[in-house]
Structure 1
Amino acid sequence: MLIGELAERSGVSARMVRHYANAGLVSTTRDGNGYRDFDEYQVGRVQAIRALLLLGLTVSQIRELVSCLGAAVTMPTCPAARATLVQRLGVVDQQIADLLTMRERIVSGLELVDAR
């Protein structure tokens, strides 16, 4: 299938499909006319990549997981994926803690302003 069809079927722009292909996240061949040709399997692959990006993983992290994406539409299930997700969860937990601390400081600042 051509890039436009893959983009439409997977819910991303053709530009993003091109980016994923250039980054080595999806497989493609070239037709005789130079157009990229994607197989049916790449629809699920693009959807899995999109799901991982929504979790905050980087393209580099996803590239490391490409071999264990399989036909999964939502999540790879290999040990490397678990380790990557555990690491990402730690980052998110720290961001939450930092935001809660900032929130407490803002509330304290507002209390000082209101007291005057």
Structure 2
Amino acid sequence: MRVGELARRTGVSPRALRHYDQNGLLPSQRLANGYRDFPEPTVERVRRIRQLLEIGLDLDDVARLLPCFAEDGKLTPCERARQRLHAQITDIDARMASLRATRRMLADELARL
């Protein structure tokens, strides 16, 4: 299927799909006319990529974790996935603590006004 059809079926822009393809995340072939051609399983692969991006991972992390998905579309108990998701939670916790501290400072300044 061509990139426009893949975009329609996944809800992901053609530009993003080309970006994923250029980063080696999507299997594609070039047709004689230069267009990309994606096999049917790419639809599910795009959904997996989007799932990982939505939880805040970057494309390098996505590339490392894509092999950890089972056929049913769920992450398996893959050690890479476990470690990266744990690290992501740790990062979020640190950002939340920083935001709480910033909020306290803002509230203190507001109270002084």
State the TM-score, normalizing by the size of structure 2.
Answer: 0.91
Equivalent pairs counted in the alignment come to: 112
Q: Pick which of 31-40 and 52-61 moved more.
A: 31-40
Q: Pick which of 25-34 and 95-104 moved more.
A: 25-34
Give every structure 1 segment of 4 or more consecutive aligned residues whose post-TM-superposition deviation is greater than 6 Å: none
**Identical amino acids, percent of aligned pairs:** 39
Aligned residue for 2:112? 112
| Higher relative contact order, chain-length normalized (CA < 8 Å, sep 6+) | 1
List alignment gaps of at least 5 residues for structure 2: none
2:48·2:66 contact (CA, 8 Å) conserved in 1?
no
1:45·1:71 contact (CA, 8 Å) conserved in 2?
no
1: CA distance, partners of 2:50 / 2:72: 12
Larger radius of gyration: 1
Distance 1:71 1:16, change over 3 A: farther
The CA deviation string for residues 55-76 of structure 1, in whole angstroms up to 9 with x for no partner, is 1101111111222235454x53
List alignment gaps of at least 5 residues for structure 1: none
Residue 40 of structure 1: SS of its match in structure 2?
Answer: coil
Q: Pick which of 84-93 and 25-34 moved more.
A: 25-34
Aligned residue for 2:51? 51
1:10 is the counterpart of 2:10: yes
Distance 1:82 1:50, change over 3 A: same
Aligned residue for 1:76? 75
